[in-house]
Amino acid sequence: MKVLIADKFEQSGIDGLKAAGCDVVYQPDLKDDTLTQALRESAADVLVVRSTAVTGPMLETGSLSLVVRAGAGYNTIDVATASKRGIYVSNCPGKNAIAVAELAFALLLSLDRRVPDNVADLRAGTWNKKEYSKARGLYGRTLGLLGYGNIGQEMARRAHAFGMPIVVWSRRFATGKDQIADEPIPMQLAASPAEVAERCDVLSVHLALNGETRGLVNASVLDKLKPGSYFINTARAEVIDQGALEIAVRERGIRAGLDVFAGEPSSATGAFSTPIAALPNVYGTHHNGASTDQAQEAIAAETVRIIASYQDTGKVPNVVNLAKKTPATHMLVVRHRDCPGVLAHVFEQLRTGNINVQETENVIFEGAEAAVARINLDGAPPAAVLRAMRGGNADILDLHLVTI
């Protein structure tokens, strides 16, 4: 299996892929047209990327069957085109959660103790203990979390250790998927992002970027923050209404710690200017929340696991673009002798009835003399098709149709 790595990647991951028998092509500077050309010429089966954008034309070039995002978010990959072409998209969720939470908490502590300003004055030869002794402290102050996935949970653990009460808004709890009583960290739930903002002293954003979260943290949310509150974003800039955040910083004394910015350069280095980063109440880092040695080694190991599983079993861990619920409406259950041609006969009859197969599973009984096939279909086969199945092959022992 040929693997093209088009981003910076740990040597341990490259070695692991080679040890798994993969033909590895490591070209970390590929992007745009050069990546499209490399995919065409290399005939790679698997593409590994970090922040490099993977566009529709790239996916339509060459013979890709799997794209691995060596990280958590995958908004830089054209997942819709990948799904249309039957290309798996996989990621490495949770492997950088601790690293991002550590940076988010570093930004929070820096805001409270004004660490960058302390350093700047010391380097400039200024001693100003009087000014920098005005920190509020974090103990007893409420941390508001928007999102409670892997990173949000790591933030909660650190805040709990600092003696901070926690209030959370998350779809995990809103949908009933999880119960707050099962969480090991004491916390309270809020019904909306605006309610979290109203109840907290620090608002920290840990939401994936999608159609529902784009611009979610807008003026109606930020206006609920108490004057002088702290705001942390280590998720995605697009989740925040940048204009509303600038107004909150300028007019209401909100202090912001940001690791992500609108219009970031696509390259690792380069000129960059954004109005919000120049504001005195804003501390920023260079979208490097996940960039610790520990996190990158963990992500490399997970990438190797994903690709090795695909190569050895055909199964892809952490797939993000499979249907969450089968579109099938009926299931055909076929009990049959384990002989050649039985399922071919069944599928041929379904074809004549213009019935599409969505999913198939064939389970073999002990002794390998009989099996049961479960075939999910997009409709109910006509009675004549079912009769032709039953009567057309003596190795079919029984079949029946189930409405899903």
Q: Tell me the pLDDT of the chain (404 aa) as tens digits.
A: 999 999 999 999 999 999 999 999 999 999 999 999 999 999 999 999 998 999 999 999 989 999 999 998 898 999 999 999 999 999 999 999 999 999 999 999 999 999 999 999 999 999 999 999 999 999 999 999 999 999 999 999 999 999 999 999 998 776 666 677 678 899 999 999 999 999 999 999 999 988 999 999 999 999 999 999 999 999 999 999 999 999 999 999 999 999 999 998 877 788 999 999 999 999 999 999 989 999 999 999 999 999 999 999 999 999 999 988 878 999 999 999 999 999 999 999 999 999 999 999 999 999 999 999 999 999 999 999 999 999 999 999 999 999 98
Decide if 228 is inside a domain: yes
Residues 114 and 66 in one domain: no
Residues 236 and 188 in one domain: yes
Closest to 35 (Cα-Cα) out of 73, 72, 78, 90? 78
3-class SS of residue 283 = strand
What whole-number distance in Å separates Cα of residue 278 and Cα of residue 276?
A: 5
Decide if 323 is inside a domain: no
Residues 177 and 58 in one domain: no
Residues 346 and 282 in one domain: no
User: What percent of the chain is helix, strand and coil (3-state, nearest 5)?
Assistant: 35, 20, 45
Q: What number of residues does the chain have?
A: 404
At 34, list the tokens. 């050069």
Decide if 76 is inside a domain: yes
Residues 169 and 284 in one domain: yes
Residues 395 and 346 in one domain: yes
Decide if 325 is inside a domain: no
Residues 239 and 259 in one domain: yes
What whole-number distance in Å separates Cα of residue 324 and Cα of residue 186?
A: 31
- The H-assigned helical ranges of 276-370 are 293-313, 342-352
Residues 258 and 349 in one domain: no
Residues 157 and 78 in one domain: no
What whole-number distance in Å separates Cα of residue 87 and Cα of residue 234?
A: 29
- This prediction's pTM: 0.79
Decide if 174 is inside a domain: yes
Decide if 380 is inside a domain: yes
Residues 352 and 384 in one domain: yes
Which residue range forms the structural domain that includes residue 301? Answer: 2-94+294-313
Catalytic residues: 236, 264, 287
What whole-number distance in Å separates Cα of residue 175 and Cα of residue 272?
A: 40
Decide if 285 is inside a domain: yes
Residues 76 and 125 in one domain: no
Residues 144 and 189 in one domain: yes
Helix orientation angle between 383-392 and 342-352, rounded to the nearest 10 degrees: 160
CATH number at residue 80: 3.40.50.720
